[in-house]
Chain A
Amino acid sequence: MKPITEAANRLDFEDKITGAARYCADIRMEGMLFAKTLRATVARAWIRAIHIPPLPSGMAVIDWRDIPGKNAVPIVTDDQPFLAENCVNYVGEPILLAVGPDRAETASFIRQIVVEYEERKPILTLEEAMGRDGDFISGNQPWFASYGYDKGDLEGAMRRAARCVADTFTTGYQEQAYLEPQGMVASFEDGVITVRGSMQCPYYIVDALKNALGWETDRIRVIQLPTGGGFGGKEEYPSIPAVHAALAAIKTGKPVQLVFDRKEDILCTTKRHPSQITIKSYLDAEGNILARDIDVAADGGAYAGLSSVVLQRMIYSIGGVYRVENLRIHGRVYATNKAVSGAFRGFGGPQAFFAMETHMEHIARQTGMDSVQLRQRHFLRQEDSTSTGGHLRSPVPLHEMTDLALRLSDYYRKREQPNTDSGKLRGIGCSVFFHGCGFTGSGEQDLIRPRVRLRKDVDGIVHVLASSAEIGQGAMTTLSKIVARTLSIPLSQVRYEYPDTKVCPDSGPTVASRSVLVVGKLLLQAGLEMKKRWSEKAFETEARFTYPKGFSWDKENHQGDAYLEYSWGANVVEVELDPVTCDYKIKGVWAVYDAGTPIDKKIVAGQVEGGMAQGLGYGGMENLEYADGKPVQVSFTDYILPTSLDLPPVTFRLVDNESVLGPYGARGLGELTLVGAAPALAAAIENATGRPVNRLPLTPEYLLEVMNGG
């Protein structure tokens, strides 16, 4: 048998290459109506009146009064309504829907509705939120969540320190920009509501429908359709359009399709949290880092959403890959009157590693050290304790990985060689980072307790029953390979359909680099059980997650194993910068990852190249700003994604370091590939310009200020 790593044919390939795959907008059903959403045009206001013109025949309007259950999106905190009742808190917040048989007419009807607002003073920036002392958006304070933890003795270490290096970093929004906008189709038949659409987490939508409708699970069915990318943007957000489409289908008795256009999608869906991070490092006379005092602030937008969980990952990642015994880490995520910040590949990690890695560059710069050597001196090792006091059980191959990345890129020669003759400035920089795989802490156990099933039919075909969504990342193929390998059967004997909650158990959301590590492991377990009983004709096996022995997590005090597994990475980026316009070109990208044994090397390569592209976009050109409570860049003309001409190929290597927990030695990879790109880019630009940077994205506009000494 070939090693599992050998590339397989993707199970979803044929459907997609021929254009036959039917995404949400491609669905047509008998009598189907089209829905359009009326959205708030002001950032914060009381709704005083809504003037709706007489309804043309065949059209209907759905507002909050059509919600039979709770008008609250169930995530962590139930603070966000599905449809606004008497107030709005961000531009783009949904107020009501119109449905009708003609899409253009429905849209034109929505444009005729007039909402009377009584505007309130909005909170539009993180700074405003931090300085606010009343009239809060949420509860009695300006933040949604506030966490802190310590390690060692910060005060004592500060007294011993010879110097302190301090930095404040800010990062901007990033839009997931999946190529397929959000979309849902709902139909209501025989008392059952069925919602199909573009999604990462079918069971989040089941929960949302249960909440909104007050119905039991047996009347709710959610089916994923081929999904044109997610990147976290289709984690929690789709619950809202799913409920909207369902309400409309129930009210009209007809199938209802709700598909966003790009502008609407950018205006109202979740984005990566902007952040402001201050790091103070205390060093002894030899340049050893004794202690750090870190403060994280994130902009959560109008409702809490997943912000508290994102903040947790930020504060558990902000220590970086370094062994520093004395820490004080504090973080808050604030409420502002803007679109809700939410899940996005990396989930708080990209902000944290940009700040920490750039800070390490600045320490080296200020103390006259080599920044790589400074890192190496402090690298975490196996058996070390993490910032939360967790135990690093497996080998931590940071030295080997960093050396390899530097060698591949010819880092030292390029780093020291000054500018080229062409008048352009060349620079090279590196980053070293990790990604904690799976849910934070004991979340797998406490929040979902994922399950999977395998079903063998009489014809010997094995069906994978799991709620992991294929969103382009290759989950369908990767998870099927695990099953085929476990059962020693060809991949062609395994079937993996888009998840349907009627038949698939809740194996948790498709997020957090958990699909292979957690769901894959459960499939392996169910497979082993099936293998034992293989002689039986038709049967099912099931596996359920159990928290591994020896791990512990104290959620209240942020102590213990923050993650089940860690994946590691080292990136190098080389740039060429035009000192006249401060425009730059990425000349080379090198990457080394430890994600355990790759289940499919072709799919892994796709994650590496794609994650790097998204991470470089985050670091460089992807600029999304708000002005007067509205996003300024609301189209693909203004919100710029990298094209084929903006990115060089990535030279990458995987180190051999099998995971003990994961199936066939694999651990999470999807997010890791994004996390290190922006800090390596920043380090390269600092090397090229000779000046420190402290902000993302690194636009030419910002770099011109930097070059001018601003």
Chain B
Amino acid sequence: MAVAVYPRNLAEALRILEIQSPLVLAGGTDLMVKRAGTYPDECPVMYIGNLPELRQISRQGEELRVGAACTFTELLASPLLPDYLRVPLAQIASPAIRNAATIGGNLCNASPAADALPMLYALDAHFILVSAAGECRMPVRDFFLGPGKTMLAAGQLLAEIRIPIREGWRCIYRKVGMRRANSLSKLSFYALSDCAGGRLQDIRIAFGAVAPTVVRSREAEMKILSGLPVEEIILMYNGLIKPIDDARSSSRYRREACIRLLKQYLQS
């Protein structure tokens, strides 16, 4: 029989992580599907869903700090959450899943279709990774290597997500799912614009579920800001998008819908 381990605080969790190499579990909503029907052997299971350090949501200056074990429901209930984060998160899964699933779990699962990802890419969020040896800060784009693959090392936990907060950001988010609720994304489109003073200061564009990791290009965004014609911008993104055929959609549809959403956005 496997052992359940309940660390009381983060430091204890990190010690256990180093010594016992347990299976780490927060909400379990992804892990339980993956492990369906199979029990772990003797590997201990460490439950981090209750760790107080991982359950904080706070604002420090221009940065929102979100503990990795916060559930989506808790995030959505926080008054600190700006709309450009609330809009994508509100469309994730269903109420029961949002009650259990944690943002950290969603990120560490590293599904190309994870709905929290495009906004974090667009916002240049950072992750705080901790281990018994200390902590490091890593930009979101460096964390994800491909489907199910991240930079998280043995002995390390994703502790916190740090998201820049700026007044004046406005987001456009389109999740194209298979139905109106409780659906995985066929593709998603997230765009942020800063129009302070009535003119476009900055723009960020990210696509989810159409490549092994989120598609975002600062180069292309700079070109948009510099006024490059829409057709040329589209060509740039067309080269970056690498969708697949799967049970939920076709690569052809994913590509074309992305381009059409981009075009609509750029022309508006």
Contacts from A to B (Cβ < 8 Å)? 104, 107, 580-583, 585, 621, 632-633, 637-638, 640, 642-646, 700-701, 704
Residue B9 at the chain A interface, CB threshold 8 Å: no
How would residues 172 to 186 of chain B score, 1 for a CB under 8 Å from any chain A CB and 0 otherwise? 001010111111100
- Residues of B contacting A582 with CB < 8 Å? 257
Of the candidate stretches B13-21, B211-219, B243-251, the one touching chain A is: B243-251
Give A638 to B249 CA distance when docked, in angstroms.
10
- Residues of B contacting A581 with CB < 8 Å? 174, 176, 257, 260-261
- Residues of B contacting A646 with CB < 8 Å? 179-181
B176 lies within 8 A of A700 (CB): yes
B176 lies within 8 A of A583 (CB): yes
B181 lies within 8 A of A645 (CB): yes
B250 lies within 8 A of A701 (CB): yes
A700 lies within 8 A of B248 (CB): no
B257 lies within 8 A of A638 (CB): no
B248 lies within 8 A of A585 (CB): no
A640 lies within 8 A of B253 (CB): no
How many pairs of residues, A versus B, come closer than 8 Å at their CB atoms? 49
Q: Which of B231-253 contact A (CB under 8 A)?
A: 247-250, 252-253
Give A637 to B30 CA distance when docked, in angstroms.
12
Give A633 to B33 CA distance when docked, in angstroms.
16
A640 lies within 8 A of B178 (CB): yes
Give A681 to B256 CA distance when docked, in angstroms.
24
A643 lies within 8 A of B253 (CB): no
- B164–chain A nearest beta-carbon distance, Å: 29
Q: Interface centre among B181, B256, B261, by most A CB within 10 Å?
A: B256
- A618–chain B nearest beta-carbon distance, Å: 14
- B147–chain A nearest beta-carbon distance, Å: 16
A580-B264, A581-B176 known; A633-B247 Cβ under 8 A: yes
Task: Pick the residue among A104, A621, A632, A643 that contacts B37 (CB under 8 A).
Answer: A104
List 18 other contacts, CB 8 Å, given A580-B257, A640-B179: A104-B37, A104-B39, A107-B37, A581-B174, A581-B257, A583-B176, A632-B247, A637-B33, A640-B183, A643-B180, A643-B181, A645-B179, A645-B181, A646-B179, A700-B253, A700-B257, A701-B253, A704-B253
A701 lies within 8 A of B249 (CB): yes
Q: Give 11 pairs: A residue, B residue, CB < 8 Å, sorted on A.
A: A104-B37, A580-B257, A581-B174, A581-B261, A640-B183, A643-B182, A645-B180, A700-B176, A700-B253, A701-B250, A701-B252
4 closest pairs, A vs B, by CB? A638-B247, A645-B180, A701-B253, A645-B181
Which residue of chain B is the closest to A423 with respect to CB atoms?
B264
A637 lies within 8 A of B184 (CB): yes
A580-B261, A701-B253 known; A643-B248 Cβ under 8 A: no
Contacts from B to A (Cβ < 8 Å)? 33, 37, 39, 174, 176, 178-184, 247-250, 252-253, 256-257, 260-261, 264
Give A552 to B37 CA distance when docked, in angstroms.
55
Which residue of chain B is the closest to A631 with respect to CB atoms?
B247
- Residues of B contacting A645 with CB < 8 Å? 179-181
- Residues of A contacting B256 with CB < 8 Å? 704
Give A644 to B181 CA distance when docked, in angstroms.
8
- Residues of A contacting B37 with CB < 8 Å? 104, 107
- Residues of B contacting A701 with CB < 8 Å? 249-250, 252-253
Which residue of chain B is the closest to A703 with respect to CB atoms?
B253
- A303–chain B nearest beta-carbon distance, Å: 26
- A636–chain B nearest beta-carbon distance, Å: 9
A580 lies within 8 A of B260 (CB): yes
Which residue of chain A is the closest to B256 with respect to CB atoms?
A704
- B234–chain A nearest beta-carbon distance, Å: 14
- A506–chain B nearest beta-carbon distance, Å: 39
Give A642 to B264 CA distance when docked, in angstroms.
28
- Residues of B contacting A637 with CB < 8 Å? 33, 184
- B267–chain A nearest beta-carbon distance, Å: 11
Which residue of chain B is the closest to A620 with respect to CB atoms?
B179
Give A171 to B183 CA distance when docked, in angstroms.
24
Give A414 to B249 CA distance when docked, in angstroms.
31
Give A645 to B179 CA distance when docked, in angstroms.
8
Q: Interface centre among B33, B37, B39, B184, by most A CB within 10 Å?
A: B37
Give A580 to B264 CA distance when docked, in angstroms.
8
Give A107 to B248 CA distance when docked, in angstroms.
28
Give A581 to B248 CA distance when docked, in angstroms.
15
Give A704 to B260 CA distance when docked, in angstroms.
11
A701-B250, A701-B253 known; A585-B261 Cβ under 8 A: no
B179 lies within 8 A of A621 (CB): yes
- Residues of A contacting B253 with CB < 8 Å? 700-701, 704
Which residue of chain A is the closest to B258 with respect to CB atoms?
A581
- Residues of B contacting A642 with CB < 8 Å? 179
Give A71 to B176 CA distance when docked, in angstroms.
48
Give A644 to B253 CA distance when docked, in angstroms.
26
- A468–chain B nearest beta-carbon distance, Å: 34
Which residue of chain A is the closest to B262 with respect to CB atoms?
A580
- B186–chain A nearest beta-carbon distance, Å: 8
Give A644 to B39 CA distance when docked, in angstroms.
34
- A590–chain B nearest beta-carbon distance, Å: 21
- Residues of B contacting A580 with CB < 8 Å? 257, 260-261, 264
Q: Interface centre among B181, B182, B250, B252, by most A CB within 10 Å?
A: B182
Which residue of chain B is the closest to A585 with respect to CB atoms?
B180
Give A582 to B252 CA distance when docked, in angstroms.
13
- Residues of A contacting B260 with CB < 8 Å? 580-581
- Residues of B contacting A585 with CB < 8 Å? 180
Which residue of chain B is the closest to A641 with respect to CB atoms?
B179
- B251–chain A nearest beta-carbon distance, Å: 10
- A440–chain B nearest beta-carbon distance, Å: 35
Give A581 to B188 CA distance when docked, in angstroms.
11
Q: Interface centre among A581, A621, A633, A640, by most B CB within 10 Å?
A: A581
- Residues of A contacting B176 with CB < 8 Å? 581, 583, 700
- Residues of A contacting B257 with CB < 8 Å? 580-582, 700, 704
- Residues of A contacting B261 with CB < 8 Å? 580-581
Give A643 to B183 CA distance when docked, in angstroms.
10
Which residue of chain A is the closest to B260 with respect to CB atoms?
A580
- B106–chain A nearest beta-carbon distance, Å: 15
Q: Interface centre among A107, A642, A700, by most B CB within 10 Å?
A: A700
- Residues of A contacting B182 with CB < 8 Å? 643
- Residues of B contacting A104 with CB < 8 Å? 37, 39
Task: Pick the residue among A583, A638, A644, A704 that contacts B248 (CB under 8 A).
Answer: A638
- A474–chain B nearest beta-carbon distance, Å: 27
- B259–chain A nearest beta-carbon distance, Å: 10
Which residue of chain A is the closest to B182 with respect to CB atoms?
A643
- B264–chain A nearest beta-carbon distance, Å: 5
Give A646 to B180 CA distance when docked, in angstroms.
6
- Residues of A contacting B250 with CB < 8 Å? 701
- B31–chain A nearest beta-carbon distance, Å: 15
Give A704 to B186 CA distance when docked, in angstroms.
14
- A423–chain B nearest beta-carbon distance, Å: 8
- A693–chain B nearest beta-carbon distance, Å: 16
- B208–chain A nearest beta-carbon distance, Å: 14
- Residues of B contacting A700 with CB < 8 Å? 176, 253, 257
Which residue of chain B is the closest to A617 with respect to CB atoms?
B179
- A613–chain B nearest beta-carbon distance, Å: 12
- A174–chain B nearest beta-carbon distance, Å: 15
- B231–chain A nearest beta-carbon distance, Å: 17
Give A585 to B176 CA distance when docked, in angstroms.
12
Which residue of chain A is the closest to B249 with respect to CB atoms?
A701
Give A527 to B248 CA distance when docked, in angstroms.
53
Which residue of chain B is the closest to A638 with respect to CB atoms?
B247
Which residue of chain B is the closest to A624 with respect to CB atoms?
B247
- B93–chain A nearest beta-carbon distance, Å: 10
- Residues of A contacting B174 with CB < 8 Å? 581
Q: Interface centre among B33, B252, B257, B264, by most A CB within 10 Å?
A: B257
